[in-house]
Structures are given as C-alpha cells and as structure tokens.
C-alpha cells in the first residue's frame, strides 16, 4: 500500500508540473484524482484512427465528383480519383490523366508527373483546362466532406464532393494481404493471400492453402472484433508457417484503418498486424 501511495504522489507531482499547478497542502492531492480522470477520459474518448499522418491527408483519399473548375467548364463528367494513395488520376470524360499526389504540412498539396492516356477527344479544350488546372494545385481544404483544391494565390481550382460510387472508407471489401506481422513475406506474395470482409458474418481469409472463416464486428470508431475463427485442415508445407501466424493474429485484431484503397489492422496496443489493398471500381 505504501508503494502504491508513493507512486500516486509521483504521478501527482508530474501532472502538477505539466499543468503548472503549485502544490498547496494535501488538498491538491485530493483534487488530483479528478484531474487524472479528465486526462484518462480525454484520451479514451478520442475516436480517431490508430495511425493518422501529421499532414492529415486521410480524408482526401476518395473519388471526387467535381462541381466547379476555375475556368468555368461544365463539370458533368469531371472526376478526381485520389483513392490509390500512390497513383491517382482525373478525367473529364475522355482522356484519363495519371499523376502522383505529394503532400506537405499546412495542407500543402502538389500534383506532379501528370501523364495522359492517349486517345482522340472531341472536346480538346476541356482536357487542356483540366490538365493545366491540376498543375496549378498548391493546397487543399477539406471541410464537411467538401474538397477544395487551391492555387498558390488562393484561387479556387476545383470544388468537389464524394462521388456516388466512392467506397466511403468502408471496410466491407475483399483485400489482398500485402504485409503480415511475423510472416514469410516471400511466400505471402507468391500465393493469393486475401482477407474478404464483404459479408461481416461470413468473413474469409487465406494465405495459400487452407480457407479461414470468421465473423467480424466493426463500428465507425475504428474498433473491430474478429471471432469464431475456424479453418479447413489440409496440410500444405509451404503455407503452414503463414497460416499459423494468421490463425493466431485474427483474434488479436482490435482496430482498423481504411485510407483509400489501403487497409491496416492493429491490435489493442496499436501494433500493426496486417496491411491490405483492395481493387478499385
């Protein structure tokens, strides 16, 4: 008991220093449980993804339907697709422009390495304006699911909202497993390794041989539970090690994060267990 009280006093002193509270008798100590509780509540009530970049770009990675372009073009068929974290694109109904988005702090954004898939288009001007406008993007603003891409001088280059066929961050997809903790990575990529979460009550997975089945419960606070894990029982020498890893880690999954076409699964301590990628529509 004396040890517990001693540790309590140490915590009180550290929090007093952090909060710039000057200790004045024991009354301060009696008040500290409330302060500690506030800290714990604030930490536990955060409903953010387990890993968020310091540049806060997670919300960008969707398919966007453009509603306004700087040049005043008609925007019926203009889309900007940022779902693939590494290779994005845009289209005005004819040519598809591929590009690499680059991000920085303070909402900085650059659209680099723009290339066009060659094809004849009846309306060349629309494609020309789209390409030149992409090249002028300097920063972004994302408020209430409304995206604005701005030029360096603050001019609005694009205004957009999520497209109707965007997955909207849904975990209910079939994912190719690209990385898995403690797995044989060479074997993982040689075979069809997948995690199928399209039907939560009938989840499936495989890493080359046996098929795993399980149930999934996920909510919009990034919490996920995988239970009732079972597997077929074929013996496959090459896949055995990775199957053992998968069988053990599935019940440990506690949090998830979907960014565009990428999935990450974590345990309760935010240790990354699985990384996956989905095919885009």
- Domain CATH for 179: 2.40.128.270
How many domains does the chain contain in total? 3
Does residue 167 belong to any structural domain of this protein? Answer: no
Per the prediction, the chain carries an average pLDDT of 84
Does residue 50 belong to any structural domain of this protein? Answer: no
Instruction: Based on the fold, state whether residues 181 and 234 are members of the same structural domain.
Output: yes
Instruction: Based on the fold, state whether residues 66 and 24 are members of the same structural domain.
Output: no
Instruction: Based on the fold, state whether residues 209 and 152 are members of the same structural domain.
Output: no
Q: In the chain, count of helices (H) and strands (E)?
A: 5, 16
Does residue 22 belong to any structural domain of this protein? Answer: yes
Does residue 53 belong to any structural domain of this protein? Answer: no
More reliable by pLDDT, 202 or 58: 202
Does residue 128 belong to any structural domain of this protein? Answer: yes
DSSP 234-273: ---TTTHHHHHHHHHHGGG--EEEEETTEEEEE-TT--EE
Instruction: Based on the fold, state whether residues 74 and 35 are members of the same structural domain.
Output: no
Average the pLDDT over each of 33-42, 197-206, 254-263 and give the range with the smallest value.
Answer: 33-42
Residue 231 pLDDT: 96
Contact 168, 63 (CB under 8 A): no
pLDDT at 11 over 70: no
For the residues 197-212, what does the mean pLDDT come to?
Answer: 96
For residues 45 and 211, give the distance between their C-alpha atoms in angstroms, rounded to a whole number: 37
Q: Tens digits of per-residue pLDDT, 57-79?
A: 889 999 999 999 987 776 788 99
More reliable by pLDDT, 95 or 273: 273
Among all chains, which residue has been given the structure tokens 């849904």? 170
Domain with 63 in it: 58-162
**pTM metric for this prediction:** 0.76
* pLDDT tier at 4, thresholds 50, 70, 90: very low
For residues 89 and 91, give the distance between their C-alpha atoms in angstroms, rounded to a whole number: 7
For residues 180 and 184, give the distance between their C-alpha atoms in angstroms, rounded to a whole number: 8
Give the tokens for residue 200: 């939560």
Instruction: Based on the fold, state whether residues 28 and 122 are members of the same structural domain.
Output: no
163: left (phi over 0), alpha (psi -120 to 50) or beta: beta
For the residues 272-280, what does the mean pLDDT come to?
Answer: 94
Instruction: Based on the fold, state whether residues 215 and 262 are members of the same structural domain.
Output: yes
Instruction: Based on the fold, state whether residues 274 and 178 are members of the same structural domain.
Output: yes
**Domain stop point among 162, 190, 217:** 162
**Domain stop point among 162, 192, 225:** 162
Does residue 257 belong to any structural domain of this protein? Answer: yes
Instruction: Based on the fold, state whether residues 8 and 78 are members of the same structural domain.
Output: no
Which letter does DSSP use for residue 22 in this model? P
Give the tokens for residue 184: 């044989």
More reliable by pLDDT, 128 or 158: 158
Instruction: Based on the fold, state whether residues 157 and 186 are members of the same structural domain.
Output: no
Q: Tens digits of per-residue pLDDT, 224-240?
A: 999 999 999 998 888 99
φ and ψ of 256, to 5 deg: -135, 160
For the residues 256-267, what does the mean pLDDT come to?
Answer: 95
Give the tokens for residue 257: 């994060």
User: Residue 185, SS3?
Assistant: helix
Residue 121 pLDDT: 78
The residue among 240, 246, 229 whose CA lies nearest residue 181 is 246
Does residue 25 belong to any structural domain of this protein? Answer: yes
Instruction: Based on the fold, state whether residues 180 and 217 are members of the same structural domain.
Output: yes
Instruction: Based on the fold, state whether residues 157 and 179 are members of the same structural domain.
Output: no
What residues contact 277, with CB distance under 8 A and at least 6 apart?
A: 175, 176, 178, 261, 262, 263
- For residue 85, what are the CA distances in angstroms to 57, 74, 103, 196? 10, 27, 11, 21
Does residue 122 belong to any structural domain of this protein? Answer: yes
Radius of gyration of the chain (CA): 25
Instruction: Based on the fold, state whether residues 31 and 77 are members of the same structural domain.
Output: no
């Amino acid at each position: 008991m004396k040890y517990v009280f001693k540790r309590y006093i140490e915590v009180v002193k550290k929090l007093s220093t952090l909060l710039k509270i000057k200790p004045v008798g024991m009354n301060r100590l009696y008040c500290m449980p409330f302060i500690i509780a506030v800290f714990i509540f604030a930490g536990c009530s955060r409903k953010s993804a387990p890993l968020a970049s310091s540049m806060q770009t997670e919300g960008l990675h969707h398919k966007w339907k453009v509603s306004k372009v700087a040049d005043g073009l008609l925007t019926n068929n203009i889309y900007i697709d940022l779902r693939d974290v590494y290779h994005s694109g845009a289209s005005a109904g004819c040519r598809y422009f591929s590009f690499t988005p680059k991000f920085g702090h303070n909402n900085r954004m650059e659209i680099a390495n723009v290339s066009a898939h060659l094809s004849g288009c009846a309306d060349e001007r629309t494609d020309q304006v789209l390409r030149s406008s992409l090249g002028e993007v300097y920063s972004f603003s994302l408020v209430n699911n409304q995206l604005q891409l701005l030029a360096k001088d603050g001019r609005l280059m694009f205004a957009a909202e999520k497209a109707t066929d965007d997955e909207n961050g849904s975990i209910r997809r079939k994912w190719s497993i690209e990385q898995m903790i403690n797995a044989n990575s060479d074997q993982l990529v040689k075979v069809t390794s997948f995690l199928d979460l399209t039907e939560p009550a009938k989840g499936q997975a495989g890493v080359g041989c046996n098929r795993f089945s399980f149930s999934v419960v996920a909510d919009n606070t990034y919490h996920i539970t995988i239970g009732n894990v079972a597997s077929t029982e074929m013996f496959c020498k090459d896949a055995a090690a990775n199957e053992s890893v998968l069988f053990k880690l599935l019940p440990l999954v506690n949090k998830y994060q979907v960014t565009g076409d990428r999935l990450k699964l974590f345990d309760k301590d935010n240790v990354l267990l699985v990384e996956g990628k989905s095919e885009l529509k």
